[in-house]
Amino acid sequence: MTFFVRTAGRNDLEAISELLGVTWHATYDAIYGVERVREITASWHSVQELEPRLTRPESEFIVADDGSRIGGMAFAASSDPEKKLVVLHQLYVHPDVQGQGIGTDLLAEITDAFPDATTMRLEVESANARAVGFYEAHGFAAVGRTDNCGTADSGIPAVVYERRLGP
């Protein structure tokens, strides 16, 4: 199957929520336990939490779609007044189709959506070796740490990565 990257729409939200649940359980159950992952996905990845992203200013919300299912998604936004910093909040690919270039395509599209940005930043759980390897292979370097990935009180430690954009 060939996946095409396109803008996410309201009709995609249920499939995106399901994708995030499956991907989070496959990635994080061994790290945080099934119950904690269930709590996080119910809170962070519900349709109600995803919906405001569709209309958030200075953001890009995209999916990889093969015509029958959503195989990946990404969301990034800039709150920087000069639009020089973009934060990649999410980039997930369904476990069944990882390693097929979908993540690379999503990352390229997100990067292109912010032509004035000079830096992209993201947070990744250091125990998620596959994601760490993906981002490092795409030019990201560790620049710091946080004790609260995703939300101010998550209690989830993460490494902060950045990549310079542009020429």
Distance CA 26, CA 10 (A): 25
Structure tokens at 55: 């209309």
Q: What is the pLDDT of residue 66?
A: 96
Predicted confidence (pLDDT) at residue 167 exceeds the cutoff of 80: no
Predicted confidence (pLDDT) at residue 143 exceeds the cutoff of 90: yes
Q: What is the pLDDT of residue 156?
A: 80
Tens of pLDDT, residues 9-30: 999 999 999 999 999 999 999 9
What band does 150 get if pLDDT is binned at 50, 70 and 90? confident
Residue 62 sits at φ, ψ, to 5 deg, of: -130, 160
The closest alpha carbon to 62, from 120, 21, 122, 103, belongs to 103
Structure tokens at 49: 């939490």
Number of domains in the chain: 1
Beta pairing, strands 141-146 & 85-93: unpaired
Domain coverage including residue 84? 4-164
Give alpha helix (H) positions in 64-162. 102-112, 129-137
Q: What is the pLDDT of residue 127?
A: 87
Beta pairing, strands 70-77 & 85-93: antiparallel
The stretch 145-152 carries a mean pLDDT of 80
Tens of pLDDT, residues 76-118: 999 887 889 999 999 999 999 999 999 999 999 999 999 999 9
Structure tokens at 112: 């292109």
| CA distance to 82, 87, 111, 139, 158, per residue, from 79 (Å) | 9, 8, 15, 22, 21
Q: What is the pLDDT of residue 68?
A: 94
Where residue 130 sits, what CATH number does that domain have?
3.40.630.30
Tens of pLDDT, residues 25-70: 999 999 889 998 999 899 889 999 999 999 999 999 999 999 999 9
